[in-house]
Amino acid sequence: MRSKNVLVSNPSSLLNIAHSGTGTIIFEFQHDSNINVAILGTGQFILSGRVRGNGRLSVSGTPRLDALACPMKIVTIEMSGTGLARVYGVEGVHITMSGVGTICYRGPLLGQITSGLGWISECILEQTSEKPLHSSSKSDKIMDRNQRLMVILAITVFFLFF
């Protein structure tokens, strides 16, 4: 399932978006206030446009979130599981990570809390290109390879010690 949506909302109130399951969801919007996004499952979630307020993103499972084309004032992202997230906080990014996921961020890192084997890094130019998420570029293959290696390592450690 693939869905592309243009959101029209009251620009001065909080916007809540939730997605669970599989599929590809694409949101394009302009919003003047804060947003909350909750993603659970294995789908692909793409945000584009502009949020003039703060963004609180909650990612769980193995989803792929791409919000680099949707700058927000301050981004607070919480990830658990093995997902991949790319976010852009103009004034800063707060990250909480548990599990073996990957977060790539743009903007000043204001704080990070990690538990598990997750990987947090600042997005480099190749990672922030406008290429589609299903591109077979070399940087995407490296990210996918790193994720697979981290999952294998986590499973191996789990079975060795438990």
* Residue 159 CB partners (closer than 8 Å, separation 6+): none
Tens digits of per-residue pLDDT, 64-99?
999 999 999 999 999 998 989 999 999 999 999 998
**pLDDT value at position 138?**
45
Q: Quick one: tokens of 157?
A: 């450690």
Return the number of other C-beta atoms located less than 10 Å from residue 112's C-beta: 15
Dmax (CA) of the chain? 53
Of 1-5, 105-109, 142-146, the range with the lowest mean pLDDT is 1-5
- pLDDT at res. 4: 54
- Say yes or no to pLDDT of 32 above 70: yes
On the 0-12 / 13-18 / 19+ scale of CB atoms within 10 A, 133 is middle
**Using the 8-state DSSP alphabet, how is residue 123 labeled?**
P
Asked whether the predicted pLDDT for residue 131 surpasses 50, the reply is no
Q: CA 142, CA 75: separation in Å to the nearest integer?
A: 25
What integer best gives the mean pLDDT of the chain?
Answer: 82
What are the distances in angstroms from CA 79 to CA 24, 110, 155? 19, 16, 19
| pLDDT tens digits for range 139-151 | 445 556 677 777 7
Q: Would the pLDDT of 160 be above 70?
A: yes
